[in-house]
Amino acid sequence: MYTEHFGLSELPFTLTPNTHFFLNMPTHHEALNLILVALASGDSFVKIVGEVGTGKTLLCRKLLNALEGDEYVTAYIPNPYLSPDEFRKSFAQEIGLDVSGLEHFDLLNAINQRLIELAHEKRKVVLLVDEAQAIPEETIEALRLLTNLETESSKLFQVVLFGQPELDELLGQKSLRQLLQRITFSYEISHLDSEAVEHYIDQRVQRAGFQGMSLFKKDASKKISQASAGTPRLINILCHKALMVAYGKGDLKVDGSHVVKAIEDTQGVVVPKSNNGLTWSLIGLLFLATCMLVYLGVNQ
């Protein structure tokens, strides 16, 4: 691949949620800090919402790493499209239970006993649910009932939901109003503006081992920002393809022409308007106007 050509130690724009490349951006740091503060204060539900490709899963992985140690026990459910019973069993397994042969009431009792054990050990249990907009309504209700497990002074576990905007629509249903009222903190991850996109690109290539000032020229970053609408996943795709184009041409920097090729090869991006098209449209209008003036002059 192009890593050696550009002096990189690894690929900087892969789509896997590698926490080494966690976004050094205010919006993502604010979200992470909000979650950590909420968990430290014992709040039962936290909700993080963001459009497709804005870095929610990477944030979730970063949070899992931040909670490593003796203080927290984490349960991670990446695909919550589960029945209530499947969801409870997944949670039970994540906190160290053998669910073989356990049915509804026995399972609930085992979960309760395990959570009490962990509470006595002064360990906090945190359930992280990714793609939470996919949770069936009856499973969300089962989750709410699970969070009723508590001691006299605190909840036995806390929940962080990561989801697309459809999660807000799901929780806005009247039947789920009790759970919505329990969400004490929420945060919406926004898209990156043009300046943040440039910073994001530079950060990724530097963390991948690049030693120079900037691998992407200003016009390249600007075109990537426009085409991606500030969505990190699309930025990664366009940057990776632009690097491949530059490598294929033997160039050591990525410029706007490389990015144009990447845009042409990518679905789901905003294709910048052609300056040439605009110019010819103006010429056409001027030509028609000139013809009209000549016609009026002749007939006066």
116-170: per-residue pLDDT in tens?
999 999 999 999 999 999 999 999 999 999 998 887 678 899 999 999 999 999 9
Residue 271 has pLDDT above 90, yes or no: no
Average pLDDT over residues 84-108: 93
Average pLDDT over residues 275-293: 50
Residue 244 has pLDDT above 80, yes or no: yes
Three-class SS string for the chain?
Answer: CCHHHHCCCCCCCCCCCCHHHCCCCHHHHHHHHHHHHHHHCCCCEEEEEECCCCCHHHHHHHHHHHCCCCCEEEEEECCCCCCHHHHHHHHHHHCCCCCCCCCHHHHHHHHHHHHHHHHHCCCEEEEEECCHHHCCHHHHHHHHHHCCCECCCCECCEEEEEECCHHHHHHCCHHHHHHHCCEEEEEEECCCCHHHHHHHHHHHHHHCCCCCCCCECHHHHHHHHHHHCCCHHHHHHHHHHHHHHHHHHCCCCECHHHHHHHHHCCCCCCCCCCHHHHHHHHHHHHHHHHHHHHHHHHCC
> Per residue in 198-225, pLDDT tens?
999 999 999 999 998 899 999 999 999 9
Q: What is the pLDDT of residue 225?
A: 96
Residue 171 has pLDDT above 80, yes or no: yes
Residue 288 has pLDDT above 70, yes or no: no
pLDDT band at 103 (very low <50, low <70, confident <90, very high): confident
- Tell me the pTM: 0.86
Average pLDDT over residues 263-281: 68
Q: What is the pLDDT of residue 93?
A: 96
Q: What is the pLDDT of residue 293?
A: 57
Q: What is the pLDDT of residue 24?
A: 73
Question: Where are the chain's structural domains?
Answer: 3-18+192-264, 26-189
Residue 55 has pLDDT above 80, yes or no: yes
Least confident of 34-38, 73-77, 259-263, 272-276: 272-276
Q: What is the pLDDT of residue 104?
A: 83
CATH of domain 3-18+192-264: 1.10.8.60
> Per residue in 174-196, pLDDT tens?
999 999 999 999 999 999 999 99
pLDDT band at 25 (very low <50, low <70, confident <90, very high): confident
| From the candidate CATH numbers 3.30.450.20, 3.40.50.300, 3.40.640.10, 3.20.20.140, the one assigned to the domain spanning 26-189 | 3.40.50.300
Q: What is the pLDDT of residue 139?
A: 96
Q: What is the pLDDT of residue 43?
A: 86
Average pLDDT over residues 231-256: 96
